[in-house]
């Protein structure tokens, strides 16, 4: 049976993110099966045609850090104006009442929000498993929504009674954590090109697990050939904790425990100093930059300009929807651009660089050489943005308009050649029903 073809035709601009960063005016993208068959002008097909006049076509955006379950605890009053540690202590008891249904529904909401904002590949960091919740719940959600998914099996093992931050009821035994890591990798991880699910290992943070668990997770990840992820150097409290508890900065702690390398990426890294940036560059360690969350929690401005200048791999993360509290990935790309300008001046980061971080940059962080650009042979993960609407009316450059003006939602989205968003609506799930179910669960949590 011949593979199905879809031709996205006549875009105002196709942003390829190929080696030369070509942009094609009046460009087409031909999808065959799950891959990009051709990118150019005047392409034809006997299959389906999607008209893209007035649109910018980009590679699907890549989200490298999220906690999908947190869509159920957005804008919680006690956490709205707190710093990181106070914010966590407000939310832990609420998260402790979650179960499998909460994990599944909140993930569907978060994934749909990402899809509508141009995301085709997302990671997730789930580090608490109360009342029978499992990583499997979020993987099932991603299967229905249709996004390419890199769930990470997180963990917390040091509770309050041992000097950690989380309540004892939310932490797990370290042996049980490692056993479940093995289970989910064996059950779900797909190392092949074009994989829709890849699993990573992700103890929550240096302040919620032991040194032993960090080291054991690194050994296990290398044994299984999967990636490692955690939070690092998020704010001043985080640095102070590292100096007091471990006698060193977070970068050194990570290096000592095997947490640097091409198969590791760390979220935030707001407070990395020059030598830590050098370490990340030298070792190929990646960064998930989460500008909205960093603003929301007042954590600071990550030194992304310095990281990029030293060729550190940087991708974007919306971070959890309790610390953003949105999960709009194209808005995150705009915020990344604006925040570097606040720190370093108006020429610190341009639209094209922010788009590169949001696509190719994220794909590199997640070890996906098969994603992140629109080139023949790459996976057909494509976002189509209508820049003919009111937000960008009068703009002189359609690609510039995407981040400087809007829109903040896609018109069409394809993942592995399958349409997930059509004419601005989710086609894989009944979103109004999912939202209604989510609001019912939120009402129940509020009591
Ligand atoms: Zn996070």
pLDDT in tens, 267-305: 999 999 999 999 999 999 999 999 999 999 999 999 999
Q: How far is the CA of 205 from the centre of ligand 1 (A)?
A: 9
Q: How far is the CA of 102 from the centre of ligand 1 (A)?
A: 18
**Contact, 174 vs 213, CB < 8 A?**
yes
Q: How far is the CA of 127 from the centre of ligand 1 (A)?
A: 10
153, β-bridge pairs:
126, 201
Q: How far is the CA of 267 from the centre of ligand 1 (A)?
A: 7
* First CA to last CA distance, the chain: 54
**Contact, 316 vs 290, CB < 8 A?**
yes
Q: How far is the CA of 421 from the centre of ligand 1 (A)?
A: 27
Provide the pLDDT for residue 83: 83
Tell me the C-alpha distance between 204 and 79, whole Å: 19
**Contact, 83 vs 235, CB < 8 A?**
yes
Confidence of residue 198 (pLDDT cuts 50, 70, 90): very high
Tell me the C-alpha distance between 54 and 234, whole Å: 40
Provide the pLDDT for residue 161: 93
CA angle 199, 328, 371 (to 5 degrees): 45
CA-atom Rg of the chain in angstroms: 21
Q: How far is the CA of 78 from the centre of ligand 1 (A)?
A: 18
Tell me the C-alpha distance between 107 and 67, whole Å: 9
The yes-or-no verdict on residue 2 having pLDDT over 80 is no
Residue with tokens 């070792």: 283
Q: How far is the CA of 217 from the centre of ligand 1 (A)?
A: 18
Two tokens, residue 113:
């929000």
Q: How far is the CA of 58 from the centre of ligand 1 (A)?
A: 26
Confidence of residue 321 (pLDDT cuts 50, 70, 90): confident
Q: How far is the CA of 173 from the centre of ligand 1 (A)?
A: 22
Q: How far is the CA of 46 from the centre of ligand 1 (A)?
A: 45
pTM above 0.95, yes or no: yes
Average pLDDT over residues 169-177: 96
φ/ψ of residue 32, rounded to 5: -130, 120
Two tokens, residue 391:
């937000």
The yes-or-no verdict on residue 402 having pLDDT over 70 is yes
Provide the pLDDT for residue 131: 97
Give the distance, in angstroms, between the CA of residue 33 and the centroid of all CA atoms in the same chain.
25
Q: How far is the CA of 119 from the centre of ligand 1 (A)?
A: 18
Q: How far is the CA of 423 from the centre of ligand 1 (A)?
A: 31
Provide the pLDDT for residue 147: 98
Provide the pLDDT for residue 3: 87
Average pLDDT over residues 380-387: 98
Integer CA distances (angstroms), 325 to 65, 133, 137, 205, 328, in order: 14, 23, 22, 21, 9
Cα within 13 Å of Cα(392), Cβ side: 23
Average pLDDT over residues 14-19: 98
Confidence of residue 317 (pLDDT cuts 50, 70, 90): very high
Tell me the C-alpha distance between 382 and 413, whole Å: 6
Q: Indicate the SS3 state at residue 49.
A: strand
Q: How far is the CA of 124 from the centre of ligand 1 (A)?
A: 9
Query: Which of these, 119, 169, 164, 181, lies nearest to 145 by C-alpha position?
Result: 119
Provide the pLDDT for residue 82: 86
The yes-or-no verdict on residue 1 having pLDDT over 70 is no
- Give per-residue pLDDT as tens, 349-373: 999 999 999 999 999 999 999 999 9
The percent of residues above 70 in pLDDT, for the chain, comes to 100
Q: How far is the CA of 25 from the centre of ligand 1 (A)?
A: 38
Q: How far is the CA of 444 from the centre of ligand 1 (A)?
A: 25
Confidence of residue 165 (pLDDT cuts 50, 70, 90): confident
């Amino acid at each position: 049976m011949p593979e199905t073809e879809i031709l996205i035709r006549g875009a105002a601009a196709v942003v390829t993110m190929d080696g030369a960063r070509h942009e094609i005016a009046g460009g087409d993208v031909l999808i065959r099966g799950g891959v990009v068959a051709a990118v150019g002008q005047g392409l034809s097909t006997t299959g389906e045609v999607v008209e893209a006049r007035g649109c910018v076509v980009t590679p699907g955006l890549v989200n490298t850090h999220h906690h999908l379950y947190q869509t159920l605890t957005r804008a919680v009053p006690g956490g709205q104006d707190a710093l990181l540690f106070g914010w966590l202590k407000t939310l832990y008891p609420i998260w402790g009442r979650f179960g499998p249904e909460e994990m599944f529904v909140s993930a569907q909401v978060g994934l749909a929000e990402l899809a509508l904002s141009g995301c085709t590949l997302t990671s997730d960091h789930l580090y608490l498993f109360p009342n029978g919740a499992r990583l499997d719940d979020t993987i099932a959600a991603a299967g229905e929504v249709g996004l390419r998914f890199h769930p990470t099996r997180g963990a917390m093992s040091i509770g309050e009674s041992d000097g950690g931050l989380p309540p004892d009821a939310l932490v797990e035994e370290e042996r049980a954590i490692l056993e479940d890591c093995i289970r989910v990798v064996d059950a779900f991880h797909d190392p092949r090109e074009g994989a829709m699910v890849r699993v990573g290992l992700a103890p929550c943070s240096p302040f919620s697990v032991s040194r032993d668990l960090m080291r054991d997770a690194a050994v296990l990840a290398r044994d299984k050939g999967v990636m490692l992820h955690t939070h690092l150097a998020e704010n001043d409290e985080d640095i102070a904790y590292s100096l007091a508890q471990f006698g060193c900065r977070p970068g050194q702690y990570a290096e000592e425990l095997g947490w640097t390398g091409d198969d590791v990426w760390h979220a935030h890294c707001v407070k990395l100093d020059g030598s830590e940036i050098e370490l990340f560059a030298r070792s190929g360690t990646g960064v998930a930059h989460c500008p909205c969350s960093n603003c929301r929690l007042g954590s600071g401005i990550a030194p992304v300009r310095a990281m990029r200048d030293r060729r550190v791999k940087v991708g974007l993360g919306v971070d959890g929807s309790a610390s953003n509290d949105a999960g709009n990935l194209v808005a995150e790309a705009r915020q990344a651009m604006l925040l570097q300008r606040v720190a370093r001046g108006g020429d610190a980061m341009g639209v094209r660089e922010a788009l590169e971080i949001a696509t190719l940059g994220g794909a590199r962080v997640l070890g996906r050489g098969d994603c992140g650009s629109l080139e023949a042979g790459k996976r057909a993960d494509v976002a189509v943005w209508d820049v003919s609407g009111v937000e960008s009316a009068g703009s002189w450059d359609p690609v510039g308009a995407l981040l400087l003006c809007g829109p903040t939602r896609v018109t069409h989205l394809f993942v592995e050649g399958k349409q997930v968003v059509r004419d601005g609506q989710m086609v894989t799930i009944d979103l109004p029903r999912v939202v209604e179910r989510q609001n019912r669960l939120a009402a129940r949590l509020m009591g």
